[in-house]
Amino acid sequence: MNCGGGSPGSGLEQFRPYLMLLARLHWDKRLQGVLDPADLVQQTFVEAYQKMDQFQGGTERELAGWLRQSLVHNLLDALKKILGPRGTLPREAQLLDAVDGSSSRIEAWLAAEQSSPSEHVAKEEQTLRLAATLEQLPGPQREAVILHHLQGLSLADAAGRLGRTEASVAGLLRRGLKRLRELLGDESDAD
């Protein structure tokens, strides 16, 4: 990505699937029916484009962190509007830590610790690619993969969250992972 060159905000769009994934991972059910993760991500992008001159970093990693922080602020603002002054909100620092932890789990799911700078950059690119590829899965498969592999829920807990049987969720996972491999394989073949 070209954080410093080009037009302000050039390259932000590559982070959309990544932010969608994080928004889904940390979506508060109390927002259901009022707002959805895509609205939250769009608001984050609108603000990022407006405030791009305030971004102090120069790397993709720093930009991803800046966008994650903005996403957390927008999630908390949305909850405040919906719940009013008496609503119970997560603490900002706790939510930011949880979102950062999710980002780390996504990276860990892709590969073990890597030591060289080029391997680290490659892992960041893989994270963005995985997030974009997850967006291409049918919704139930995507949700099953996110809950089980990225949030670490057991098959039984994922089934409960999705309102399905364990066998159904196992099938969604099997098909979702197969399709992910196909899509990721196709993309690497095109490189």
Q: What is the DSSP string of 34-77?
A: T--HHHHHHHHHHHHHHTGGG----SHHHHHHHHHHHHHHHHHH
Query: Given this model, what pLDDT does residue 102 score?
Result: 67
Q: Provide the residue ranges of all domains of the chain, joining segments of one domain with +.
A: 1-117, 136-191
- Look at 49 and 81; give whichever has higher pLDDT: 49
Out of 46-55, 123-132, 147-156, 176-185, which region has the weakest mean confidence (pLDDT)? Answer: 123-132
**Range 169-189 average pLDDT:** 84
| Torsion sign across C-alpha atoms 43, 46, 49, 52 | negative
Which CATH number fits the domain 136-191, given the four candidates 1.10.238.10, 1.20.1250.20, 3.40.50.2300, 1.10.10.10?
1.10.10.10
Kindly report the pTM of this predicted structure. 0.64
Query: Given this model, what pLDDT does residue 1 score?
Result: 41
CB 161 within 8 A of CB 151: no
Give the angle 166-172-176 at the CA atoms, nearest 5°.
Answer: 145
- Whether residue 141 has pLDDT greater than 60: yes
Query: Given this model, what pLDDT does residue 130 score?
Result: 83
What count of Cα atoms within 13 Å lies in the side-chain half-sphere of residue 26?
A: 30
- Whether residue 121 has pLDDT greater than 70: no
- Look at 25 and 171; give whichever has higher pLDDT: 171
**Range 168-175 average pLDDT:** 94
Tokens at 116, concatenated: 């060289």
In whole angstroms, give the CA distance from residue 19 to residue 127: 11
pLDDT tier for residue 123 given thresholds of 50, 70 and 90? low
Tokens at 121, concatenated: 């950059």
| Torsion sign across C-alpha atoms 58, 62, 64, 65 | negative
In whole angstroms, give the CA distance from residue 185 to residue 174: 16
Residue with tokens 């996110």: 146
- Whether residue 127 has pLDDT greater than 60: yes
Residue with tokens 């990693």: 61
